[in-house]
């Protein structure tokens, strides 16, 4: 079979990434040569491909669902917001500009061609490409310049399914309204719907689906049940904030991750979810650090401004007191930079010389050039493969004694590294956690035989199962191969007359 499909959504966080990953996994299991694609992604979770290109983390995970190596073509445009107004624009894996929304408009026409070419290359290489939209296709103010939703679907003649999140409520209005707000040509590509995050009684939903069909002439291809505890690296930070706090148990290792305003690559923490007996909480206040065995300051897209927030919230002082008391703290990339003595930044914040928290003997200097790398090293006697994404270059001050830790250092109970993904390495993670537990005085021993790769594969399989069990897969295959049904009715938007 050969073809493609675009998975759009009524809102951000409707579940497009998860559905795309699920369809990819299900197709790959059928022996189909399939690849994921997202023309334009806005995310602070990114990944470095084998050839050193930066792409959205979700596309890397979807590639894993397909059983293939991620490439820059799978996410040709990545926007990384550094403030409410400005984003770094990454094109085919390289940061090319830092722009506001108006300036970005000027790039768009060029980027549509880039995205369409990437998709064409993927379609030449793979039999099926499952494309993920961005936000909602019914952002009518942005339709003219769109490259990720209907603009892409038109350019590449893609059939489209729209995913709606029933847990938010208003799912019928948003599905109907999404179609009705589009012009006739766009409507002709919208084949039907998927309902996501359903946890009610199917018999109560059924009449609504019939009515939706009557109103739109379009099928609902499936109703996906709510899946608890899917802590997936395909999620964005919106989903992160909806995560309920887990209870601490007496023997659990308690990890508090500082929820920085511009948190990036929080998927680093994901590997901890594979360890039984670890409870991870994202925290915003100093008080919440108190009972944690390990505090992690994760990556940040805006190190200096997030460091300002860390000081304002009192978290800085709490972390300094912890370190003085010999309690564990780990800084990763932006978090590591914050733990340094000084930061020189004329690039990201343009704030010049800033004092860090001074918990590690290190100095940070921001450079215009972005480091994108896939380093391999050793720690605790185990091999560690990781990835790096940063402008700030940290130099460890050898005049002050500290111990090496990955590419960074350890001083007392404070560890710092620029490396993302290190915790995915099983033997290293377990040795590090055992050290943390011993330092914190917590009777926690990592369970033997845990494999993050297997844990991740099992989760991707669960998504494949979700599609297999709850979606009319025959109809999806038909869409992929033959495009949208030809007789789809036009919904007159109505409007005031």
Ligand X SMILES: NC(=O)CC[C@H](N)C(=O)O
Task: Give the residue numbers annotated as catalytic, written as ranges.
Answer: 333, 420
Exposure pattern of 53-87 as b/e (b: 16+ CB <10 Å)? Answer: bbbbbbbbbbbbbbebebbbbbbbbbbbebeeeeb
Q: CA-based angle 302:385:406, to the nearest 5? A: 65
Instruction: Name the region of 161 (left: φ>0; alpha: ψ -120 to 50; beta: rest).
Output: beta
Residue among 82 and 135 whose Cβ is closer to ligand X: 82
Residue among 178 and 303 whose Cβ is closer to ligand X: 303
Residue among 288 and 388 whose Cβ is closer to ligand X: 388
- Give me the least distance between CB of 410 and ligand X, in Å please: 19
- Give me the least distance between CB of 140 and ligand X, in Å please: 34
Residue among 196 and 264 whose Cβ is closer to ligand X: 264
Q: Which residues bind ligand X (CB under 6 A)?
A: 264-265, 299-301, 303, 333-334, 348, 389-392
Residue among 81 and 177 whose Cβ is closer to ligand X: 81
Comparing every residue's Cβ against ligand X, the nearest one is: 299
DSSP collapsed to 3 states, the chain: CCEEEEEEECCCCCCHHHHHHHHHHHHHHCCCCEEEECCEEECCCEEECCCCCEEEHHHHHHHHHHCCCCCHHHCCEEEEECCCCEEEEEECCEEEEEEEHHHHHHHHHHHHHHHHHHHHHHHHHCCEEEEECCCCCCCCCCHHHCCCCHHHHHHHCCCEEEEEEHHHCCHHHHHHHHHHCCCHHHHCCEEEEEEEEECCCHHHHHHHHHHHHHHHCCEEEEEEECCCCCCCCCCCHHHHHCCCCCCCCCCCEEEEEECCCCEECHHHHHHHHHCCCEEEEEECCHHHHCCCCEEEECEECCHHHHHHHHHHCCHHHHHHHHHHCCCCEEEECHHHHHHCCEEEECCCCCCEEEECCCCCCEEEEEEEEEEEECCEEEECCEEEECEEEEEEEEEECCCCCCEEECCEEEECCEEEECCECHHHCHHHHHHHHHHHHHHHCCCCCCCCCCCHHHHHHHHHHHHHHHHHHHECHHHHHHHHHHCCCCCCCCCCCCCCC
- Give me the least distance between CB of 380 and ligand X, in Å please: 23
Classify residue 399 as exposed, middle or buried by CB count within 10 Å of its CB (0-12, 13-18, 19+).
Answer: exposed
- Give me the least distance between CB of 346 and ligand X, in Å please: 13
- Give me the least distance between CB of 35 and ligand X, in Å please: 26
Residue among 7 and 55 whose Cβ is closer to ligand X: 55
- Give me the least distance between CB of 54 and ligand X, in Å please: 10
Residue among 41 and 264 whose Cβ is closer to ligand X: 264
Residue among 93 and 137 whose Cβ is closer to ligand X: 93
């Amino acid at each position: 079979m050969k073809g493609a499909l675009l998975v759009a959504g009524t809102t951000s966080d409707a579940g497009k990434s998860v559905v795309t990953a699920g369809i990819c996994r299900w197709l790959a299991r059928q022996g189909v040569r399939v690849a994921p694609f997202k023309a334009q992604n806005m995310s602070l979770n990114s990944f470095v491909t084998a050839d050193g290109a930066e792409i959205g983390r979700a596309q890397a995970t979807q590639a894993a669902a397909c059983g293939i190596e991620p490439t820059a073509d799978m996410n040709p445009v990545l926007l990384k917001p550094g403030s409410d107004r400005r984003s770094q624009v990454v094109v085919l894996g390289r940061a090319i500009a830092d722009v506001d929304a108006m300036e970005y408009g000027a790039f768009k026409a060029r980027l549509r061609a880039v995205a369409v070419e990437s998709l064409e290359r993927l379609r030449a290489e793979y039999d099926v490409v499952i494309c993920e939209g961005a936000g909602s296709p019914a952002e009518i103010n942005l339709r003219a310049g769109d490259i990720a939703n209907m603009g892409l679907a038109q350019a590449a003649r893609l059939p489209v399914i729209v995913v709606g999140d029933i847990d938010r409520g208003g799912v019928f209005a948003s599905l109907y309204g999404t179609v009705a707000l589009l012009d006739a040509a766009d409507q002709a590509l919208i084949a039907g719907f998927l309902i996501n995050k359903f946890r009610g009684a199917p018999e109560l939903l059924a009449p609504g689906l019939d009515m939706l069909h009557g109103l739109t002439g379009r099928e609902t291809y499936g109703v996906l049940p709510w899946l608890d505890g899917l802590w997936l690296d395909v999620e964005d930070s919106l989903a992160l904030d909806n995560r309920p706090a887990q209870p601490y148990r007496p023997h659990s290792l308690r990890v508090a991750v500082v929820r920085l305003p511009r948190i990036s690559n929080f998927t680093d923490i994901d590997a901890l979810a594979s360890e039984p007996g670890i409870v991870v909480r994202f925290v915003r206040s100093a008080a919440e650090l108190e009972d944690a065995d390990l505090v992690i300051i994760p990556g940040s897209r805006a190190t200096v401004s997030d460091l300002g927030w860390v000081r304002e919230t009192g978290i800085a002082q709490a972390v300094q007191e912890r370190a003085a008391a010999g309690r564990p703290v780990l800084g990763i990339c932006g978090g590591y930079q914050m733990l340094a003595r000084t930061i020189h930044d004329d690039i990201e914040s343009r704030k010049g010389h800033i004092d860090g928290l001074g918990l590690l003997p290190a100095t940070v200097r921001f450079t215009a050039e972005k480091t994108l790398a896939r380093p391999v090293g050793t720690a605790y006697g185990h091999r560690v493969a990781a990835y790096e994404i940063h402008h700030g270059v940290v130099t460890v001050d050898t005049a002050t004694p500290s111990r090496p830790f990955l590419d960074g250092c350890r001083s007392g109970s404070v560890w710092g590294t620029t490396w993302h993904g290190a915790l995915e390495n099983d033997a290293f993670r377990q040795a590090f956690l055992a050290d943390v537990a011993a330092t914190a005085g917590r009777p926690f021993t990592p369970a033997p035989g845990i494999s993050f790769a297997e844990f991740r594969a099992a989760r991707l399989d669960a998504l494949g199962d979700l599609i297999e069990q709850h979606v009319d897969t025959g109809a999806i295959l038909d869409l992929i191969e033959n495009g949208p049904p030809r007789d789809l009715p036009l919904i007159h938007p109505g409007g005031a007359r």
